[in-house]
A = this chain, B = another copy of it.
Amino acid sequence: MNIPVGISARHLHLTKEDFCKIFDSENLTKYKDINQPGLYAANETVTIKGPKGMIESVRILGPFRSYSQVEISKTDSYNLGVNPPIRKSGHLQDAQTISVIGPKGSVEVPVIIANRHVHISLDEANSLGIKDDDILSVKINSEKPGVILAYFKVSEQAYKELHLDLDDANAFMLKQNDIVEISFNKNK
């Protein structure tokens, strides 16, 4: 099955409570929609700061969530001086925190490297015999080709795409909306 690639630059999700601590506002404002239904890039950006360095202009993705989380690449982690685990979104146990700095103040937020994952809707997952967290393989036919493992992420609503971070995208010479081929086993 062929699906498009969505490349995730570093970004973060915030609870409303954390947002209000660092912005003089109670609401995110939409910059633009992203492919996943209901999600958007906000106009609001922050600076993230680790023991070794900082990165400015990191975008918040809205809407607010029940957890705050910064998602970076391994390259970013060396620049910041942190050692984040590779995790599914929201799985933050044992993840170290990083300073997230807004115009009004700063909060400490867990930082992860997102695992490689394919968004798929519950209806399509059911029809294909796929469960959340199932492993799949992704064949990349770029100038630097290969096969990588990823995980299905099943949501009620979803735009079907492979989410990779910038390290993966650059290692495989992939751009937004490039096409990759996925294969997987159906659950009995």
Interface residues of A (CB under 8 A from B): 73-75, 78, 86, 115-116, 143-149, 165-168, 170-173
Contacts and interface: CB of A to CB of B under 8 A. Distances in A.
Contacts of A168: 144, 171
Contacts of A78: 170
A146 B143 CA distance: 16
Given A143-B86, A146-B147, A173 B74 contact: yes
Given A144-B149, A165-B171, A167-B167, 10 more contacts: A75-B75, A75-B166, A86-B143, A116-B144, A146-B146, A146-B149, A147-B147, A167-B171, A170-B171, A171-B171
Stoichiometry (number of copies): 2
Given A75-B75, A166-B75, A173 B143 contact: no
Interface of A is mostly: mixed
B145 A73 contact: no
A170 B86 contact: no
A172 B149 CA distance: 11
A167 B145 CA distance: 14
Of A116, A165, A166, A170, chain B has the most CB atoms within 10 Å of the CB of: A170
8 contacts: A73-B170, A86-B143, A86-B173, A115-B144, A116-B144, A146-B146, A146-B148, A146-B149
A170 B173 contact: no
Nearest to A137: B146
